[in-house]
Amino acid sequence: MSRKASRKEVGAADERVTVRDVAARAGVSATTVSRVIKGDYPVAQATRARVLRAMRELDYVLNVHARALSGASTKMVAFVLDDVTGPSFAHVAKGVEQQATAEGRLCMVCTTHGDPARELAIVEAMREQRADAVILVGGGTLDDTYRERMSHFAHALDKAGSRLVLCGRPPLGDDVPTTVVEYDNEGGAYAMTSHLLSQGHRRIALVGATADDLSTTRLHRVRGFMRAHESFGVPHDPDLVVPAGFDRADGYDAARRLLALGAEFTAVFAATDMVAIGVLAALREAGLRVPEDVSLSGYDDIPFAADLTPGLTTVHIPTEELGRTAVRLALNRQDRQHVVLGTHIVVRDSVRPPARRA
């Protein structure tokens, strides 16, 4: 009987090749096949080779659900983010995928569309699937109910031998078992605001964040903005702190609202580079030049920030390093489990001292 015929008969009888089918083909027990699949027990090299050959010949497909029920790892890292189209997220994802591959893991990408309830549901689903790590990227929310639920899942993942990783967001608490890989978000905002103030700007608009925002990312950036004003002894005008989302359209709409109010400002600090691009469009539409009339800065240092005209002065986040570090620490827990990566200003052509009035 040919191998092809044998495989066809198995498929016709059961529709799915089982561990017992593989064991029969390899001439070993079903327990030995399971040990080869799990990789959690020593098996002689020759025996392992026979089992793997039988799996290939029978086109055996691992039942991931059954493996999860058995308590075995699925050799998978889950990467959970707001939106796959965000430039910064894409580079964090690249770092996650590179390190996951180096660690012999597959990478599953899940999107939340900014919905905290969906994020919680994804974390619960990944726990049930026994992912080796669940990596949450981007700012979290300060809502108490959300934090309680996420803390519960962190403990549940830890109990199951998995790990919740907070990437680019602060810890949930000292007693919550998580891996935390964040960057100096507030420090970056402080440095950029200080740069604008040192250039002589005293009326700086912050577009994309508010002091009572529940997003951890926005909250830390506005704190850095306000702290810099305090350090320089310059009062900030609350009317120049304009709430907005993190996209180009949000920046454009926010800048138009600011201009419609007739507010006086000589510089704009946008909460993200994408917001800055929207602000730039609105300023030009209003006949204002950057940086001759208004200085403009951003946050993230996305790849095409340098290609804008003028090149955008911004805060650099080590996005790929964030992703790589998140996976490495989650899978190697003997290492320190809370790391803060540095940020720094990238000075280009969009900021200059304010023009003197005649």
Q: Would you list the domain boundaries of the chain?
A: 19-70, 76-183+319-341, 185-317
The residues, ordered by sequence, that sit 6+ positions from 177 with a Cβ below 8 Å of its Cβ are 154, 155, 157, 158, 163, 164
* Torsions phi, psi for 352 (to 5 deg): -150, 165
Given a cut of 50, whether residue 14 has pLDDT beyond it is no
Q: Which CATH number fits domain 185-317: 3.50.50.60, 3.40.50.300, 3.40.50.2300, 3.40.1110.10?
A: 3.40.50.2300
> Mean per-residue pLDDT for 65-93?
75
Specify the CATH number of the domain 76-183+319-341: 3.40.50.2300
Per-residue model confidence (pLDDT) at position 65: 52
Please check whether the two domains, 19-70 and 185-317, share a CATH topology.
no
Q: Could you write out the DSSP letters of every residue in 166-205?
A: EESS--S-TTS-EEEEEE-HHHHHHHHHHHHHHTT---EE
Percent of the chain with pLDDT over 70: 89
Count of alpha carbons within 13 angstroms of residue 291, beta-carbon side: 23
Per-residue model confidence (pLDDT) at position 1: 39
- pLDDT band for 72, please (50, 70, 90 cuts): low
194-218 pLDDT, tens digit per residue, is: 999 999 999 999 998 765 555 667 8
Domain 19-70, what fold?
Answer: 434 Repressor (Amino-terminal Domain) (1.10.260)
Percent of the chain with pLDDT over 90: 57
Per-residue CA distances from 304 to 6, 89, 277, 313 (Å): 56, 14, 10, 12
